[in-house]
């Protein structure tokens, strides 16, 4: 597969997963979390399809076009490893959805980051919240859920937070 084909498939998978995740949490109150502003593409898509949700965006180096940059009260700037731990009081209520688009292309670094920040993300989520990510997570209170039709296994990851069975 060419790199162009691969990039197109990744973006299509991302959009399918975002749309499905938003539908899953339609009845679940709470803000959304976007980890990794990047160029602001997925943030812009999320706010377009859910105009009534507050979306808190975590990013260490915001550099998106101003049109795709959240207002200052919704931009949590810094390293995830520090900002997630302190974000609860600022966000004010458990989140219904977290989209973690955090990959750098360095598989070792990305895997370590996901392992490190999973529990801090989970602490910000409501029961039944949905997590979707470009990274595999192994959080004890997240259950992997089926990907939308058209998304190949391993291309994106989706989880539902569930404390059932956790002690």
Residues forming the site for ligand SAM (CB under 6 A): 36-42, 59-61, 79-81, 101-104, 113
Place of tokens 């973690």: 100
Do the Cβ atoms of 135 and 102 come closer than 8 Å? yes
Do the Cβ atoms of 145 and 160 come closer than 8 Å? yes
Q: Which residue is nearest to ligand SAM (CB)?
A: 38
In angstroms, give the least distance from the CB of 40 to ligand SAM: 5
Between 38 and 119, CB nearer to ligand SAM? 38
In angstroms, give the least distance from the CB of 26 to ligand SAM: 22
Q: What percent of the residues of the chain are helix, what percent strand, and what percent coil, each to the nearest 5? A: 40, 20, 40
Between 101 and 141, CB nearer to ligand SAM? 101
Between 110 and 128, CB nearer to ligand SAM? 110
φ/ψ of residue 151, rounded to 5: -105, 120
């Amino acid at each position: 597969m060419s790199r162009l084909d691969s990039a197109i498939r990744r973006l299509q998978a991302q959009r399918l997963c975002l749309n499905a995740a938003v539908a899953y949490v339609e009845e679940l109150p709470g803000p959304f979390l976007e980890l990794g502003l990047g160029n602001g593409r997925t943030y812009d898509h999320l706010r377009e399809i859910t105009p009534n949700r507050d979306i808190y965006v975590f990013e260490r180096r915001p550099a998106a076009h101003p049109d795709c940059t959240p207002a200052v009260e919704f931009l949590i700037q810094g390293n995830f490893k520090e900002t997630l731990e302190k974000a609860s009081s600022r966000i004010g209520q458990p989140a219904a959805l977290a989209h973690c688009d955090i990959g750098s292309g360095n598989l070792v670094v990305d895997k370590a980051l996901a392992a490190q920040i999973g529990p801090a993300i989970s602490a910000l989520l409501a029961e039944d919240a949905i997590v979707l990510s470009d990274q595999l997570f192994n959080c004890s209170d997240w259950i992997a859920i089926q990907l939308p039709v058209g998304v190949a296994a391993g291309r994106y990851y989706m989880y539902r937070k569930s404390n059932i069975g956790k002690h």
